[in-house]
Amino acid sequence: MKPMRPSRPPAWWSAATPLRATLLGLAATPGPLPSVTAARLAAGADPASLLAPRSPDPGEVAAHLRDLGARFLLPGDPGWPLATTPPDPPCAWLFVAGPGPPLAARSVAIVGGRRASALRRATARSLARGLAGAGICVVSGGAIGVDAAAHGGALDGGGSTVVVLGCGLDVPYPRRNQELFLRIREAGGTFLAEHPPGARPLAAHFLPRNRLIAALSGAVVVVEAALDSGSLSTARAAGSRGAGQILAVPGAPWDRGAAGCNDLIRDGATLVRGLDDVLEALALPDSPGPATPAGAAVAAAAGAPVDAGAPVAAGAAVAVGAGRAVGAGPPVGAGAAVGVGQAEGAGGAAGAAVRSAGGLLPCRPWPAGASRAAEQVLGALADGRMMGVARLEAATGLAPAVVVSALLELELAGFARRSAAGAEALALPFQPASRGPPTAP
Amino acid sequence: MLARVATTALVGLVAHPVGVEVDIGRGLPSITVVGLGDTAVLQARDRIRAAFGNSGFDWPDRRITISLPPADLPKQGSGFDLPIAIGLLAAAGLVPAPALDGLWAVGELGLGGDLRPVRGVLASALAARQAGGRTLLVPGANLAEASLVPELRVAGAGTLRQVSDWLRGAATLQPPGPARQAPAARVEDLADVRGQPLARRALEIAAAGGHNLLLVGPPGAGKTMLARRLVGLLPELDRNEALEVTQILSAAGLLGADAGLVTARPFRAPHHTVSVAGLVGGGSRIPRPGEVSLAHLGVLFLDELAEFSRTACESLRQPLEEGEVSLVRAAASVRFPARFQLVAATNPCPCGHLGDAERACRCGPEEVRRYERRLSGPLLDRLDLYVRVDRVGATDLEAGAGGEASAVVRARVAAARRAARSRAGVPSARLTVAELDAACRPTAAARRLLGVAVDRLGLSARGFHRCLRVARTIADLAGDSWVDEHHVQEALGLRHLALDPDDQAGAA
């Protein structure tokens, strides 16, 4: 069927314009939310009728995309990542830079707020590092805070990562993450957006963006979420789709950054104590690696983009990720994780220690000569809250000068950091021996 | 007939000798002033004419020429009224001309013939003494100020009539009273501060080492209250310092009538809308001292540092480094002393509640970052001490005051300052990088700790030097000749912290 003539067609449009070009022009039209347009298309609207006089010439948009090294994907295109997990509202097109994202089954979304505590960001980072080591792609939103930590952790672990933006692929937002984005690009990561190049990061873009993060991932791990957090919408999107797993890192009832996570857990989300819980939830085939069907699927999915230049790069990126996963040896990969789970099931405290060493908490050995005051202060900081000297003084009963010197000790040992806003924990002590980590008072 | 009197012209803080020559000659009645005077000097004609009439003198209806040599020195203000009037009296034969030998005079005339105080009298007195003047005649309200200069006879008069009577030998003038001190402004005591042990300690260190201090905290935490108390921790001014302070206030016209020597260290807190000229000094023809000079030997407090304009902040660099400002204007270039101690205060974020235990901060990370960028980097580099000030809890408030009084702390500060002066000649805050190592004498353990801090805390080179200077002062307060590990530890607790926790590179 020939597309219907738009009411006020742009100059470039004619009845002979191919559907793909019409859709590209529509996708590049500034104004309407892509998710809204997609819903109208899904409801049977004719793409050409949705064009506006200002809809840009698809030829120019395509040229711009080529300059950016990006491509325009439509459902049904080889490499369309949402084939098995269509989001709701639907997604009509994607702008993609970098290799095609792997199948949702091999991807995990790690989400959380921009103002998450340092401890929760460190949790996201170590979780992402562990997942990358297991050959799993980490999907997140490219924001500061937890998102940046997740992407960074995936790179640290030598894995691949997907950034789902709420703006155009060529818009440097957030500015603070530009260095990280460059690293991701160099490491063969993928950038996705529903928005055309040049689209500004409007607040309204982020909720629809979250449904894509959920759709691209076999599981969504909410590392941090206050009660009104956008991360919860990602989790809800995963839940409403039915296929995606929802996982959440719990916290104390008074920890604001955990309120959303705790709610999710009460409502049935999987509680995350460590990397193993995430790997278990993914229910991956026993042995990961380049030779497994899952690995092949990754290669297949990634190696089927539209333009001819990309397959090589994409294939290489996957090979690097998988190679490192194998080379790193145990305890990486799902098989190893299962082993840990068994050890934990059989043992007591030792098992718990192994679990915490397994990658969730940013733990490190407690220095031998550390003072009692430092231990008390870190105990007060252990739930991740940022606390000023005055509050630490109240929490520990120590004199302010002692608190300050204890903080210095913790800072120098890498357990805490200070800013004008207060002190916060960066890591917690891990002691396999009899003496446990300090507890909050 | 020609008459000559001596007076002074104030340029900056220095008064230059100026002659006043009055000639009354034949010709149509007129009065001309020559010699680079400003509007106020030219208006002297009208004031003097009215004052003459109202004092009961006959105005010489002839051709009057008044010259103010040297003609190339710019002259400003109303202080020339009195010497010109005296010259006219002598030229008109109303007072004997020999009475004007060695006479110096400054003062403004009211239309009724009354004498009004002028600024810069202390400088005039110094100039008169240096030029070998016999007597300095000033308005009565300036007498206390003029008599601060020893070895100079000063006299104060209330009206032009008294002056003429005195010059004719018909009356005596009010002699200077006993040397007076300006009434000391009430200095707030540290004992009134409740709680805040860290801030009190930082104030003590700042006073002992001459360190500039940054107070960061939410509104209402007591930053201004603390800053005001630094003045009371500093040692008292010696006589020369007091003269300097008095001279600056006098030149700025801020010394009240009948004020004597100012012995209190100044505390200046300009509002954040202050202009660059208001801050460092300025003015269209002859510059006047700005806030930095008015705070000379005292404390300059900049509240809401982020709100000050960038140019204002940058203009503080020269005085902070050199202890003076030099200003060049069309008519003159002058130097003003400006060795002040800087206390700056800022909220931690636009809403002020970042890190506040009582109220949640409403600012996003980007807002905090932008706010941080507004704090001038070069200025922050010169703030050695950083202290977070939080609201005092109810228990501390109820416990009441009870901390040490300023006098107790001042004694320790004085001892530490003596130690620093005997070692390096200057307070530790003014040690140059080259002098630092020799003056600070860190132990091996202290060096090691500093090294670790550079690695782990991202301490910059400047931060390193700041820390060493502060550690030196802490050691001086403890009476230790070496800078040891625990001194460095305390100094590191007072290092700069970034407002934005994810931007540690900008801090330390």
Cβ contacts of B220 on chain A, cutoff 8 Å:
none
In sequence order, what DSSP letters do the residues of B373-401 get, joined into one string? HHS-HHHHHT--EEEE--PPPHHHHHH--
Best to test chain B binding among A419, A424, A426 (most B CBs inside 10 Å)? A419
Best to test chain A binding among B388, B495, B503 (most A CBs inside 10 Å)? B388
Best to test chain A binding among B502, B503, B504 (most A CBs inside 10 Å)? B502
Q: How many residues does chain B have?
A: 508
> Looking at this protein, which amino acid is placed at residue B259?
A
Banded pLDDT at A242 (limits 50, 70, 90): low
Burial class (CB in 10 A: 0-12, 13-18, 19+), B441: middle
Give CA–CA dist A321/A261, Å, rounded.
30
Banded pLDDT at A220 (limits 50, 70, 90): very high
d(CA A408, nearest CA chain B) in Å: 7
Cβ contacts of A422 on chain B, cutoff 8 Å:
355
Judged by CB atoms closer than 8 Å, whether chains meet at A394 and B393 is answered as yes
Q: Is the ipTM of this complex over 0.90?
A: no
Chain A interface, Cβ < 8 Å to B: 114-115, 118, 144-145, 174, 176, 386-391, 394, 399-401, 404-405, 407-408, 411-412, 414, 417-422, 424
* Cα atoms found within 13 Å of the Cα of residue B388, Cβ hemisphere only: 29
What is the side-by-side order of every strand in the sheet holding B14-25? B30-34, B63-67, B14-25, B2-11, B103-105, B135-139, B153-157
Cβ contacts of B507 on chain A, cutoff 8 Å:
419
DSSP label at B220?
Answer: T
Cβ contacts of A414 on chain B, cutoff 8 Å:
456
pTM: 0.78
Residue A361's pLDDT is what? 64
d(CA A409, nearest CA chain B) in Å: 9
Judged by CB atoms closer than 8 Å, whether chains meet at A401 and B453 is answered as no
For the ranges A185-194, A236-245, B322-331, B402-411, the maximum mean pLDDT occurs at A185-194
| Sign, CA torsion A120/A122/A125/A128 | negative
CA-nearest residue to A414 within chain B is: B456
Of A238, A208, A216, A200, the closest CA to residue A162 belongs to A216
Judged by CB atoms closer than 8 Å, whether chains meet at B390 and A405 is answered as no
Give CA–CA dist B403/B154, Å, rounded.
47
Listed range (A152-161, A213-222, B174-183) with the worst mean pLDDT: B174-183
Residue A342's pLDDT is what? 30
Banded pLDDT at A429 (limits 50, 70, 90): confident
B383 close to A (CB below 8 A)? no
CA-nearest residue to A174 within chain B is: B366
| Cβ proximity of B176 and B260 under 8 Å | no
Listed range (A178-187, A429-438, B85-94) with the worst mean pLDDT: A429-438
Q: Is the pLDDT of residue A422 over 60?
A: yes
Q: Is the pLDDT of residue A297 over 60?
A: no
Judged by CB atoms closer than 8 Å, whether chains meet at B197 and A405 is answered as no
B458 close to A (CB below 8 A)? no
d(CA A207, nearest CA chain B) in Å: 18
| Cβ proximity of A77 and A85 under 8 Å | no
Sequence-ordered list of residues with C-beta below 8 angstroms from that of A224, at least 6 positions apart, any chain:
A112, A113, A116, A117, A120, A121, A124, A145, A146, A231, A249, A257, A258, A260, A261
User: Max alpha carbon distance in chain A (Å)?
Assistant: 80
Q: Is the pLDDT of residue A4 over 70?
A: no
Residue A213's pLDDT is what? 93
B156 close to A (CB below 8 A)? no
d(CA A112, nearest CA chain B) in Å: 15
Judged by CB atoms closer than 8 Å, whether chains meet at B490 and A405 is answered as yes
Give CA–CA dist B406/B207, Å, rounded.
11
Judged by CB atoms closer than 8 Å, whether chains meet at A408 and B499 is answered as no
Listed range (A111-125, A134-148, A239-253, A349-363) with the worst mean pLDDT: A349-363
CA-nearest residue to B216 within chain A is: A420
B388 close to A (CB below 8 A)? yes
Residue B215's pLDDT is what? 95
pLDDT 10s digit of each residue in chain B, 508 long?
899 999 999 988 999 999 999 999 998 998 988 887 777 778 888 999 999 999 999 999 999 999 998 988 888 888 999 999 999 999 999 999 999 999 999 999 999 999 999 999 999 999 999 999 999 999 999 998 999 988 899 999 999 999 999 999 999 887 777 766 666 666 788 988 888 889 999 999 999 999 999 999 999 899 999 999 999 999 999 999 999 999 999 999 888 777 788 889 999 999 999 999 999 998 877 888 999 999 999 999 999 999 999 999 999 999 999 999 998 887 788 899 999 999 999 999 999 988 887 888 888 878 888 898 888 788 888 999 999 998 887 667 666 656 889 999 999 999 999 999 998 888 999 998 888 888 888 999 999 999 999 998 888 899 999 999 999 999 999 999 999 999 999 999 999 988 877 754 333 4
DSSP label at A117?
Answer: -
Residue B331's pLDDT is what? 76
